Amino acid sequence: MSVLIEISELVQKGKAKDVKVLVANALEEGISAKEILNDALIAGMMIVGEKFKAGEVYVPEVLISARAMNQGVNILKPYLTKEGVESVGKAVICTVKGDLHDIGKNLVKMMLEGVGIECIDLGVDASEEKVVEAVKESGAQIVCLSSLLTTTMDYQKDIIDALKDAGLRDKVKVMVGGAPLDAKFAEGIGADAYTKDAAEAAEVALSFLK
């Protein structure tokens, strides 16, 4: 069995310690960090999502898998990001109100920091007031919004509207992402960009700062 499939299965079983060991082994074998992230860790988590939807696993199992995935991501972090890069700008980042999913948001933050973008992380369940305040205080040029639930994705528009009302919309680029979104949705709510994954988010954010 390939090591990537093994890691994916260990994520599904929530075996955090074994995930750490096999991720390190995979790196030693010369498999790229990006491949391990996408084809093993995220792939495993996606299968957990399908099982969750089908009622085959429940919230506690999903959390245990999420923890195992995060342990793997921690091993990959130095390989995905460059240490000591100079700051090129600031981004306010959060998962929007009503939504507690933060694995994707944390990956985006990690990749942004990796290209030198300082992140003001508002965590999960962030209100429009919190975002507006953070933009005012930090002078951030970018706002990154994450939603994993169809019930919270519309909240991204409320945040964009609040930025408009506060006279800040022209001063920031708003980037959105998360599994239920696409470019059409982003355009519809007046966002500046939709990106499908963390690596693309870092590329686009950097292009906005140049």
> Is 112:204 a contact under the CB 8 Å cutoff?
no
- To the nearest whole angstrom, how small is the minimum distance from the Cβ of residue 196 to ligand B1M? 6
DSSP-derived secondary structure for the chain? --HHHHHHHHHHHT-HHHHHHHHHHHHHTT--HHHHIIIIIIHHHHHHHHHHHTTSS-HHHHHHHHHHHHHHHHHHHHHHS-TTPPP-EEEEEEEBTT----HHHHHHHHHHHHTTEEEEE--SSB-HHHHHHHHHHH--SEEEEE--STTTTTHHHHHHHHHHHTT-GGG-EEEEE-TT--HHHHHHTT-SEE-SSHHHHHHHHHHHH-
Residues contributing to the site for ligand B1M (CB under 6 A): 42, 45-46, 48-49, 52-53, 59, 62-63, 66, 98-105, 107-108, 144-146, 148-151, 175-180, 195, 197-198, 201
Nearer to ligand B1M, 62 or 84 (CB): 62
Of residues 66 and 84, the one with the C-beta less far from ligand B1M: 66
CB-wise, 42 or 115, nearer to ligand B1M? 42
Taking the least distance from each CB to ligand B1M, the nearer of 18 and 99 is 99
Nearest approach, Cβ of 175 to ligand B1M (angstroms)? 4
Residues 160, 174: Cα–Cα separation, whole Å: 8
Minimum CB distance to ligand B1M smaller for 53 or for 84: 53
Q: Closest approach of Cβ 98 to ligand B1M, in Å?
A: 6
Shortest spacing between CB 29 and ligand B1M, in angstroms? 23
CB of 58 to ligand B1M, least distance (A): 9
